[in-house]
Structure 1
Amino acid sequence: MGNKGVQGFQIIDEAKAKIEAQCPNTVSCSDILAFAARDSVNLAGGLYYDVPSGRRDGRVSSIAEVTKNLPDAFFNVTELKENFARKGLSIEEMVTLSGAHSIGDSHCSSFSKRLYSFNKTFAQDPSMDPSYASFLKTKCPQPLNTRTSPDPLVPFDPVTPNQLDNNYYKNLKSSRGLLASDQVLWNSVLTRNLAKENVNHPSAWAAKFAAAMVHMGSIDVLTGNQGEIRKNCRVVN
């Protein structure tokens, strides 16, 4: 969740080109990404937070690094907790940051198993609201070979798909989490109370989300003379 659905990197390229023209070899692609994330959160949810700068870019880019660090769409809560803990993020921060799925889309291949081949007992995931499952089946036909067949996109939040808000948690309460790893946050005793708090206290969730974004932006950063300032964000110098 690499993440084949991520788009919009041309915006980063455009920002980098304009900054390089005015202030060469000074602002890293890592900082630009952090600033772009902050601005996106502000535009989509009206949340603003200060972002520390001074990051440097790495000299290695590997898709294998992405694959082994991102949580899988079918992780249970224990697996999610361990995945976030490896980066120094708490279980509350994990639940808080999952609210980012209030916006954006997922490919059908990331969740269609829940609709057609969940396990040996149930073809359809019994933890999913049946009417929501029926709706998703209209968007995601019975899965074929995704190498040769289309893999449509479906919004994580069908109610406010372009607004970063706590509706993500309301969807979980209604058994309408899109990914299995979303719905488990409500279904597990380890995380349900945290998800409930985010349903009942949207302003508190927003504040926690901003703080968690700042914390996440400080993980494994390079500073000082470490790494480099890339001239082109897509390749090392």
Structure 2
Amino acid sequence: MAGGMNLFGIFMLQIIVLSLFSLHAEGQGLKVGFYKKSCPQAEVIVSKVISDVMAVAPSLSGPLLRMHFHDCFIRGCDGSVLLDSPTNQSEKFSPPNLSLRGFNIIDRVKLALEKACPDVVSCADIVALVARDVTVATKGPFWEVETGRRDGNVSLFIDPITPVTGLPSFASNISVLKQSWALRGLNTKDLVVLSGGHTIGISHCSSFDSRLYNFTGEGDTDPTMDPNYIARLKLKCKPNDLTTFAELDPGSFKTFDDSYFKLVTKRRGLLQSDAALLDDPETRAYMIQATSEGSTFFKDFGVSMVSMGRIGVLTGSQGEIRKVCTKRN
């Protein structure tokens, strides 16, 4: 009976979360060119700042793309991941977000926009536009970004680490990943397509060292990982190494391409959540298609990013337009 109650409790929690996210899951109030009249140069200004940044710090492309994902998956795309806290109790300081970098770049973009059009462009929209522009800067696809989001006022340390509704872990299996995406109104195709964003960026050894040294607690390696790849990673990552990092897409981690899918299908996905994409017929089929001549990955990525950008948005008179992205007005 107790087990039945637990299942019922989980079911009810999912219903509550679904209702919270689906409230604005369709992105009502968002549209392409929202700032056409109020700040005509908005997207040009964002693009110029990002172009300058990428020329000197291309390694920030991965973290800035990931920032949009981390923002949208918690409380929706409302810029809550940007908020500071005097006691380090906002999302930014939660363990899954400690690896995010580039907050100063968002501030730089905001400063340029405030100079041109004070109190007009939201920080949530800046995060969405920056994600598109770093993708383009690394030779990835262009897509039209819907804008019109407003900024949220709530940012809690606990949210990203809350079971079920928090950010999916790098050690998640395919069931957990599919559930996490579904809770936010995204489908299995969106899951595998957006995972393709791992074509740019890095991950710290601590995120995957259990796969190399202690997979089941017996001092073993992950049997689903290519042993040659494990041997190579062991040269780079020693046990309990908290500082060294590895490229998610070795050889082209600063270029947005389809090689991530090629690596994962060869059992060389760095994270368990990457390898998990081989455990589902739909995600596996897409990965194989993404490495073929008729790949639709670039087009699909833009479509899925637009869908993700609609999660839980605040529009109209909701929220606010922050003057500074790190603090409420």
- Fold conserved between structures, TM > 0.5: yes
Determine the structure 1 residue equivalent to 2:192. Answer: 95
2:141 to 47, 56, 78: 47
Query: 1:43-87 CA distances to partner (integer Å, 9 max, x unpaired)?
Result: 113311111111100011223223343211111111100000000
Letter in 1 for 2:203: S
Distance between the aligned counterparts of 1:164 and 1:111, measured in 2? Answer: 22
Letter in 1 for 2:247: P
2:111 to 9, 17, 39: 17
What is the deviation of 1:121? 5.7
Say whether the 8 Å CA contact 1:5–1:105 is kept in structure 2.
no
Distance between the aligned counterparts of 1:115 and 1:71, measured in 2? Answer: 21
Query: 1:125-159 CA distances to partner (integer Å, 9 max, x unpaired)?
Result: 11111111111112211116xxxxx4211110112
Determine the structure 1 residue equivalent to 2:311. Answer: 219
What is the deviation of 1:7? 0.7
Determine the structure 2 residue equivalent to 1:231. Answer: 323
Taking structure 1 as reference, are residues 46 and 188 closer, same or farther at Cα in structure 2, changes over 3 Å only?
closer
What does residue range 62-211 of structure 1 map to in structure 2 within 5 Å?
62-68=156-162, 69-120=166-217, 123-143=220-240, 150-201=242-293, 203-211=295-303
Secondary structure in 2 matching 1:126: coil
Letter in 2 for 1:168: Y
Say whether the 8 Å CA contact 2:199–2:257 is kept in structure 1.
yes
**Relative contact order, CA 8 A, sep 6+: which one is greater?**
1
Distance between the aligned counterparts of 1:143 and 1:210, measured in 2? Answer: 37
Secondary structure in 2 matching 1:175: coil
**Structure 1 length as normaliser, TM-score?**
0.93
**How many corresponding residue pairs?**
232
Query: 1:204-228 CA distances to partner (integer Å, 9 max, x unpaired)?
Result: 0111101000111111110011001
**Structure 2 length as normaliser, TM-score?**
0.67
Query: 1:177-219 CA distances to partner (integer Å, 9 max, x unpaired)?
Result: 0001101112443521121111215640111101000111111
Greater Cα shift, 120-129 or 109-118: 120-129
Distance between the aligned counterparts of 1:25 and 1:53, measured in 2? Answer: 15
Structure 2: stretches of 5+ with no match in the other structure: 1-69, 71-95
Letter in 2 for 1:116: Y
Say whether the 8 Å CA contact 1:77–1:190 is kept in structure 2.
no
Taking structure 1 as reference, are residues 235 and 193 closer, same or farther at Cα in structure 2, changes over 3 Å only?
same
Point out 4+ residue stretches in structure 1 off by more than 4 angstroms: none
The percent identity for this pair of structures is 41
Structure 1: stretches of 5+ with no match in the other structure: 145-149
